[in-house]
Amino acid sequence: MNPDIKAINEKIIKESEFTEKITNEISKVIVGQSYMVERLLIGLLSNGHILLEGVPGLAKTLTVNTLSSTIKTKFQRIQFTPDLLPADLLGTLIFNQKDGEFTTKKGPIFSNIILADEINRSPAKVQSALLEAMQERQVTIGENTFKLEDPFLVLATQNPIEQEGTYPLPEAQVDRFMLKINVGYPSPEEELEIIRRTTKSNEVQVNAVVTPQDINKARNVVKEVYVDEKIEKYIVDIVFATREPEKYGLEDLNELINYGASPRASIYLTLAAKAHAFLQRRGYVTPEDVRSIGMDVLRHRIILSYEAEAEEIGTEDVIRKVLNRVEVP
């Protein structure tokens, strides 16, 4: 039975007003980067963590900082370094000599929006500590387990060009990120505007225009966005084409893919497509929503073979072939 699309549309128009307010506030500080801002909003609406990758100086950290300033919520920036310990992230037990008891001192992870800056600079112990928080939305200190507040969002940045002193993220952790966004350079016009803004002494004031309650209400409406059975099958076909390419007439990809996308890809493609439709003020998902978000959901979930590396074929080339080949409903 089809839902009442008109009723969903009315809800979306009411509950999506805040997204425009956030975008307007961010644009006071950030020039361009509308693609990155839209993806951050999709993560916020879908309750999904995001990995931002790009060379230094592309305003990744500044954009996340500015986004957090627009929401009346707790924000923590954690600079990941090689000597960071799990306790620096989660907190620890402190012995109180007076009482003879241990008390819990909570770490910076107990916040709503976490900016994990240069996440690949910390070793495996820190990554595994962050993993529990990202997946289970809880933290264990000693024998006690603490639930994290809602919303809880990890926005991580990593620099792709500097490999010295970095620890590649485990595949299991990378898979926990809903989206991986490649942040590109600004256009010449945008760079001119950046120069003009940053060389003036005026400081721009960003206002908090949204509450966590607004976000939770919007998330509930995003869940109601209608996904037709044909669209669901289209999403499954895209994911299965990365696992069994020969069944989709993509025999040439057989030798290039070691491991296809996990079931999380299907879940996140559906959630992200719903959030994309919500941002377009639409109560139903179209194939275009799926295609527009497909690259960001899949680029970190496909493991290529040595043959692909030898032929200088990247993950994005493979995803393009899949999206172009799988039949659109």
Read off the tokens for 36: 């990155």
Cβ-contact 225, 285 below 8 angstroms: yes
For the chain, list the strands marked E by DSSP: 50-53, 75-79, 91-96, 101-106, 113-117, 138-141, 144-147, 153-158, 179-182, 257-259, 303-304
pLDDT of residue 165: 62
SS3 7: helix
Q: Against a cut of 0.75, is the pTM above it?
A: yes
CATH numbers and ranges of domains, the chain: 31-194 (3.40.50.300), 225-325 (1.10.8.80)
Query: What one-character-per-residue DSSP string does 16-31 give?
Result: THHHHHHHHHHHTT--
pLDDT of residue 232: 93
CA distance 209 to 219: 17
Radius of gyration of the chain (CA): 21
pLDDT of residue 238: 93
What tens-digit pLDDT sequence spans the chain (329 residues)?
Answer: 456 778 888 888 887 788 888 888 888 888 877 888 899 999 989 988 999 888 777 778 888 888 888 888 888 888 888 888 888 888 888 877 777 777 788 888 888 888 888 888 888 788 888 887 888 888 888 788 888 888 888 888 887 766 666 777 777 778 889 999 988 888 888 888 888 877 876 777 888 888 888 888 888 889 989 999 999 999 999 999 999 888 888 888 888 888 888 899 999 999 999 999 999 888 899 999 999 999 999 988 888 888 888 888 888 888 999 999 888 88
